[in-house]
Structure 1
């Protein structure tokens, strides 16, 4: 079946969707994006993703090209059109194009580019990786300073993924001033003496939607949470470690830079948090 995508008001076969070569998302990485998970044909944390999208647009002084209800209906229509049971919906908004390349923003009123597509991921919630855990390496964090804005500037995270792959690992944790910021496409956590530790919110990390939900569920389950920067040395000495993201949910980390974390197997806290997150998110899905 040909995948149906959404582009600027139209639902099209993917091979018919076209944008200008002068689009600023292509030329300048001048755009933002969101990825929403689909489980059982329903959207997880949609309101959270929509709110963060508004914040990203505001921080870049970009107009919002569609309202909440319109975006929700587009997401649902793409789920229907592509028969998505489990998977992801990628949304991207760029500043558009006024027909040429210029560092200055286009004239006021230039239409934004709004694009969405789906990815089918059968069995997303039962990923075998969650049963064995993932391995990460540490790399210097060489991204720009506003990581709290979910922009399409993903070159260095992509390079980090490839560094990890070359090293025979699954992902990379980025280090700045001796402290872990986050993974290439996820938030990072350690567990020590039953306490969940993750970096506090700020410009240094993405304000993860899954992060917010997981921390809320953890506190509701009477787990102790500490939001602060932690060092790579602390991570290597942790009892457990894990990541969160829209596509990975809660994913145990069992090795960092070749050193086993704790027992070297997924621990009870991360495993329980994954169960809670998936169960509660399914209940609230739209």
Structure 2
């Protein structure tokens, strides 16, 4: 398998990162995960724009343009002959003696590789069980940084509880999942937390909001309480790798009928149609 390391394609075994890389020691960096369908990077422009924005937010100056990076990533997919899967992209601040502070002008280390994705068909069709947990993360959740320790801890807790995801609650209000955005449906209105420093403004989330508008589905970007979540008619989550998944049980309690709801199914279909439209192969 080829990987992209600082603009060069090489074998994975040839790729080496210094022990004092700040991403390795401090989580000092940013990343993106992009879905590949039919050999195409879905919503590539949006992902790369967010990658550059996240880097800028923490003071990393990337030594290439968005267009140059897109071209290199397309070359990586071609080299690995990926038709369906995912692409992981990461930039760290670079290598420096281990101190919290750093000198300006470090050379960022940029890595990308492709990986297989197993589509969660059963979960998408039948729904999943989730738990809720306190949102104790830092207050810049809008930056897609490498600092995911709390997300990992809570995702593992959900896994050990035989749940697909954990929905996070901050000051009584639903923010997002450990690796997903959250939506609640009440009386045919879709609610989701507004884009702010308290959530990551997911690329799939942005796509869904546009599809809500296009299909005339009522929606509000509004923080809801945990009680409102538990009493919703439908709940679903979204992410790049999971797409749209119905949530049928939260903390052991059925949501709505305990089965995927009709509006959730319509949202799923709308997203699949959009994916097919955006990534259809030209014959």
Q: Deviations 1:98-145 (Å, cap 9, x if unpaired)? A: 3x111112x3322100000111125x3x72210111111001111111
After the TM superposition, which parts of structure 1 deviate over 6 Å for at least 4 consecutive aligned residues?
A: none
The 1:65/1:251 distance shift into structure 2, 3 A limit, reads farther
Q: Retained in 1: the 8 A contact 2:117–2:241?
A: no
In structure 2, what is the equivalent of residue 233 of structure 1?
Answer: 227
In structure 2, what is the equivalent of residue 111 of structure 1?
Answer: 107
Match of 1:87 among 65, 85, 88: 85
Q: Does 1:101 align with 2:105?
A: no
Q: Retained in 1: the 8 A contact 2:130–2:164?
A: yes
Q: Deviations 1:253-273 (Å, cap 9, x if unpaired)? A: 111000111111111111111
In structure 2, what is the equivalent of residue 120 of structure 1?
Answer: 116
Distance 1:66 1:261 in 2: 47
Q: Given the two structures, how large is their TM-score scaled by the length of structure 2?
A: 0.95
Q: Given the two structures, how large is their TM-score scaled by the length of structure 1?
A: 0.95
Q: Does 1:189 align with 2:187?
A: no
Residue 251 of structure 1, CA deviation: 1.1
Q: Retained in 1: the 8 A contact 2:7–2:72?
A: no
Distance 2:37 2:186 in 1: 31
Q: Aligned ranges for residues 1-286 of structure 1 at < 5 Å?
A: 3-98=1-96, 100-105=97-102, 107-121=103-117, 124=119, 127-285=121-279
List gaps (5 residues or longer) in structure 2. none
Tell me how many residue pairs correspond in the alignment. 280
SS at match of 1:128: helix
Residue 191 of structure 1, CA deviation: 0.3
Cα-Cα RMSD: 1.3
List gaps (5 residues or longer) in structure 1. none
Distance 2:219 2:3 in 1: 40
Q: Retained in 2: the 8 A contact 1:34–1:92?
A: yes
Q: Retained in 1: the 8 A contact 2:129–2:163?
A: yes
Distance 2:81 2:152 in 1: 29
Q: Deviations 1:174-214 (Å, cap 9, x if unpaired)? A: 11101111000111110011000000111000011110110
Residue 77 of structure 1, CA deviation: 1.7
Task: Please identify, of 191-200 and 260-269, the stretch whose mean Cα deviation from structure 2 is larger.
Answer: 260-269
